Amino acid sequence: MIKLLSKAILIVSVFILSMVIILSGCMPKISSVEKDIDDSMAEEPKKLTIYSGRQEKFIIPMVERFEQQTGIKVNLISGKATEYAHRIVEEGRNTQADVFLSNDAGVLEYLRRENMLAPIDENVLKVVPVNYRAVDNTWVGVTVRCRVFIYNKDLIKPEDMPKSLFDVVDPKYKGQFTINRAGNESMVTYFASVNSLVGPKETLELLKGIMANEPLILQSHTDVRRAVGSGEVKFGFVNNYHYKMQLLEEGMNNVGVIFPDQGEGEMGTFANVSGAAITKHAKHPKNALAFIQFLLEPEQQKLNDETPIIPGIEGVEYDEYKTANTSLSDVGPLWEETIKLMEEAGYSD
């Protein structure tokens, strides 16, 4: 009886095994490569956290449009760019930031040098000129902003304006102009770019000369442009999009603009960027890449008051100017040295 039962079990087992083999031969085979592709395309939760050093009025319209188009819910955390950059470093692997947005290339370079950024797909970056992205593709410019002189047409004629940054040290301009506070990231990067071109000694002399002329130091670029527009001072240093914004200020818009250092043999105006990066320890890297790709699309590039980073977008009016021959990746390492030069010259918060 036991022998018969064992034989029956053996027959059933062989039958089941045969059916498995037959059926498996009828099913499509999944190669290891296909499985890897399938795993890599697995959907992330539709979430994205952004640490942003940019003014919310520039970013919120972008975020809302991105959420509508993708269904990805964005957690936007805004503040000072340097503070959030340091926060990313301190948080390390535990950071909640997937994307970091900065109003300045110098801060992005700080994170790159701290090894806290992930490379961005080159296929996404190829639309951006190489001088407006990191040498290792870990950050990319989103818009361009140039440092210009904005002036009040009621108070000073264009021919009486300084034509070069180095003209500002002339004593005839004493007490007649305004600049942003030294703690503004873009001011540090601006003078770091000068440092990269002329060296620390000449940069220090320039800074001392500017301070000797007793500029009105204000909290923000908005304050600077409005001080010029209202006639509190004759001219000031701003990013070029602030000039365009001042033209919209009724009763304070009789202003002009000069791109400095455009003459033969002069260095050209410094072009900085607002930029974006994916953090090294991003929890949602695919969503982060999708957001950066979204920012570089022509439709979003047109939404900014700043100059698009993408050249030749239809319907966009581009200013013509000579830019300084500097690499934004070269400027970053000079940040700390430049801050010390600014402090030595008496230009500090």
Q: What is the tens place of the pLDDT at every residue in 267-313?
A: 999 999 999 999 999 999 999 999 999 999 999 998 877 899 999 99
Q: Do domains 47-143+272-319 and 145-270+335-344 have the same CATH topology?
A: yes
Other Cβ atoms less than 10 A from the Cβ of 6: the count is 10
Give the contacts of 167 (CB within 8 A, at least 6 positions apart).
Answer: 173
- Cross-strand pairs, 340: none
Alpha-carbon distance values, 56 to 5, 59, 79, 99, 186 (Å): 78, 5, 9, 15, 17
For 215, phi then psi, to 5°, come to -70, 155
- Burial string for 66-75 (b: 16+ CB within 10 Å, else e) reads beeeeebebe
Q: pTM, whole model, 2 decimals?
A: 0.80
Residue that has been written with the tokens 């059916």 in this structure: 19
At residue 131, the pLDDT reads 87
On whether the CB atoms of residues 85 and 189 are closer than 8 A, the answer is no
Tokens of 269: 């105006």
CA distance 340 to 181: 15
Give the Cα separation of 28 and 33 in Å (integer): 14
- What's the rounded Cα separation, in Å, for the pair 282 and 267? 39
Domain residue extents for the chain: 47-143+272-319, 145-270+335-344
Look at domain 145-270+335-344 and name its CATH class: alpha beta
> In whole angstroms, what is the distance from residue 91 CA to residue 77 CA?
15
Q: How far is CA 291 from CA 6, 82, 106, in A?
A: 64, 22, 21
Can you read off the two tokens belonging to residue 283?
Answer: 């929890």
Predicted pLDDT of residue 2: 37
Locate tokens 């340091």: which residue? 86
What fold does the segment set 47-143+272-319 form as a domain? D-Maltodextrin-Binding Protein; domain 2 (3.40.190)
**pLDDT beneath 50, residues of the chain:** 1-41
Q: At what angle do helices 81-91 and 105-113 cross, to 10 degrees?
A: 10
Tell me the C-alpha distance between 140 and 154, whole Å.
40
Helix/strand/coil for 46: coil
At residue 315, the pLDDT reads: 84
What is the rounded CA–CA span in Å between residue 7 and residue 3?
6
DSSP three-state, residue 236: strand
